[in-house]
Amino acid sequence: MKRLLERIDREILATGGKRSRSRAVVIDRFFRARDHVTIEELTRSVRESAPGIGAVTVYRTLKLLERLGYAKELDFGEGARRYESNLSPHHDHLVCRQCGTVIEFEDREIEQLQDLVTRRHGFHPTAHRLEIYGFCRKCASGTSPERSR
Amino acid sequence: MKRLLERIDREILATGGKRSRSRAVVIDRFFRARDHVTIEELTRSVRESAPGIGAVTVYRTLKLLERLGYAKELDFGEGARRYESNLSPHHDHLVCRQCGTVIEFEDREIEQLQDLVTRRHGFHPTAHRLEIYGFCRKCASGTSPERSR
DNA sequence: CTGATTATGAAATTCATTTTCATCATATCC
DNA sequence: GGATATGATGAAAATGAATTTCATAATCAG
Ligand SMILES: [Zn+2]
Ligand SMILES: [Zn+2]
Ligand SMILES: [Zn+2]
Ligand SMILES: [Zn+2]
């Protein structure tokens, strides 16, 4: 973790940026946070340790992390974006419309079929998004319709 | 086409709505438009035959069509939504980041594997979105980097 | 027709995100 | 260590798509 932050700082310096205390807090909190956080959630978390930090800095820092390849932008159609760390391997998402739970999955076969599709159309893929919306086991069973966010 | 509009009007009446000239124009233009239109594009088209119609009515009419199951909302991450007719069978999209071209595809195998994934997690799917972003054949070849929208 | 209710357009509002700008912090050079 | 240049910050303003409000117009049932 410390090592990661140092590495990121080095990359920022290498690209003409400067270190900053605020940014360090945001980055630290981001990697410790549960995945798929909104800016608003992350800002709340950041302010627990550094109340002065503004949401704008959180926005900017996540854009920066995305540019460097450490964060990924998500959009589950909720109106606000979410971000997740890009350190773990690629995966797609099951999103529960009742309780908001997000289940990650990875399916080699689906990915391969996607490659086939693009090849068939002479299309050069750079990214894709696959999200399945519905109801998680708990919410579908109707026994405990939770609402976590 | 005429038949379709009449059918929609009947459904609107059945659910306590009223017919309206403006809405008829919007619906007609929507089904004649190329697929994956933005509200802005559709509004421009609508105004060719009825200059007085406001964008708000286009927004409202598409929400209505979506509620009735005749339209589908899309989001290719451009900031503005797009809509497509829901009369054709389900398909997913290849989206060119250079020229904006959208290629539709349908892959039974991928759909089946998605079902498998959800079943494996006890998840009850109601919808999904699969979009592959990249460069279409033309743009990837570098010979004619077009920009259509 | 009459009255009741829905639809409309313009303007106002909302809300996430981005931009602006004056100020602060950090790196670099002496 | 200090001076200087430049990046980073936060508050406020701006942006832009989408929604809501509200007075007015259109449509429907009786
Ligand atoms: Zn759930
Ligand atoms: Zn994830
Ligand atoms: Zn293209
Ligand atoms: Zn389509």
User: Is A109 close to B113, i.e. CB distance below 8 A?
Assistant: yes
Instruction: For the full predicted model, state whether its pTM sits above 0.85.
Output: yes
Answer whether residue A149 shows pLDDT above 80: no
Is the shortest CB-to-strand distance from A17 to strand D under 7 Å?
yes
Task: Considering only the beta carbons, identify the residue of A105, A126, A137 that sits closest to B133.
Answer: A126
Fold that domain B2-85 belongs to in CATH: Arc Repressor Mutant, subunit A (1.10.10)
Question: Quick one: which ligand is closest to B88's CA?
Answer: 4
Catalogue the long-range contacts made by A14-19 (C-beta closer than 8 Å, 24 or more residues apart). A17/A64
**Residue spans per domain, chain B:** 2-85, 92-140
Query: CATH number of A92-140: 3.30.110.30, 3.90.1170.40, 3.30.1490.190, 3.40.50.300?
Result: 3.30.1490.190
The pLDDT tens digits for A3-14 are: 999 999 999 999
Buried b (16+ CB within 10 A) or exposed e, B123-135: bbbeebbbbbbbb
Q: Who's near A46: CB < 8 A, 6+ residues apart?
A: A25, A26, A29, A53, A58
Distance A41 CA to ligand 1 centre (A): 19
Q: Which two tokens stand for residue B139?
A: 């743009």
Average pLDDT of B82-88? 96
Question: What is the Cα–Cα distance from B109 to B105, expressed in whole angstroms?
Answer: 12
B80 interaction partners in chain A (CB closer than 8 Å): none
Q: Tell me, yes or no, if A80 comes closer than 8 A to chain B by beta carbon.
A: no
Question: What is the Cα–Cα distance from A56 to A30, expressed in whole angstroms?
Answer: 15
The pLDDT tens digits for A14-68 are: 999 999 999 999 999 999 999 999 999 999 999 999 999 999 999 999 999 999 9
* Contact residues, A window 83-142, toward B, CB-based 8 Å cutoff: 94, 96-97, 103, 105, 107, 109-110, 113-114, 117-118, 121-137, 140
Task: Considering only the beta carbons, identify the residue of A96, A109, A122 that sits closest to B137.
Answer: A122
The pLDDT tens digits for B8-37 are: 999 999 999 999 999 999 999 999 999 999
User: Is B132 close to A125, i.e. CB distance below 8 A?
Assistant: yes
Question: Quick one: which ligand is closest to B142's CA?
Answer: 3
By percentage, how much of chain B surpasses pLDDT 70?
95
Å between CA of A81 and C1' of D30: 52
pLDDT at B144: 55
Q: Tell me, yes or no, if B77 comes closer than 8 A to chain A by beta carbon.
A: yes
Question: How many residues are recorded in chain A?
Answer: 149
Answer whether residue B149 shows pLDDT above 50: no
User: What is the residue-averaged pLDDT of chain B?
Assistant: 94
Give the Å distances, CA to CA, from B61 to A60, A114, B21, B79: 37, 34, 12, 20
Distance A82 CA to ligand 2 centre (A): 10
